[in-house]
Amino acid sequence: MQLQPHHVGIVVSNLDRSTAFYRALGFEITSEIPFEDGAKAIRFMRCGSLHVELFWYAETFPAPPSAGSAQLGFRHLAFLVDDVNATLGELKAAGIVPAGVESRDVSAGFRIAFFEDPDGLEIELTQQL
């Protein structure tokens, strides 16, 4: 068996706002699936070989709070970059990342930084040291 990664599906609260966010990260729209009843819409975006499928539903609900423990399920979306600090600087200047976000070095030999998309999905930037 040979599996090839294809895409990650993300439910968003505002399709246009999330599209703008992912465009600022370098994604481009590749296709859309509108639904005539207006109850949902799907937009595919691509950045290099990574595809995301943004799902918008007219009715959504937030994930339950984790109350200090880890919630099961999808944790974060990570991007490998050449220079985390330079990338953070560009994203801060573009208003995508809050000013207080900083990188840190971890013992596994990486420099990492985390921030969130408009709906709170954690985004990681990672640099191999």
Same topology, domains 7-57 and 76-128? Answer is yes
**Topology at the third CATH level for domain 76-128:** 2,3-Dihydroxybiphenyl 1,2-Dioxygenase; domain 1 (3.10.180)
Instruction: Give residue-wise pLDDT tens across range 61-110.
Output: 777 766 666 667 778 899 999 999 999 999 999 999 999 999 999 998 99
Query: What is the per-residue pLDDT across 8-21, written as a single tens digit (0 to 9) for each?
Result: 999 999 999 999 99
Spell out the domain ranges in the chain. 7-57, 76-128
Superfamily per CATH, domain 7-57: 2,3-Dihydroxybiphenyl 1,2-Dioxygenase, domain 1 (3.10.180.10)
Per residue, the 3-state secondary structure of the chain, as one string, reads CCCCCCEEEEEECCHHHHHHHHHHCCCEEEEEEECCCCCEEEEEEEECCEEEEEEEECCCCCCCCCCCCCCCCCCEEEEECCCHHHHHHHHHHCCCCCCCCCCEEECCCEEEEEEECCCCCEEEEEEEC
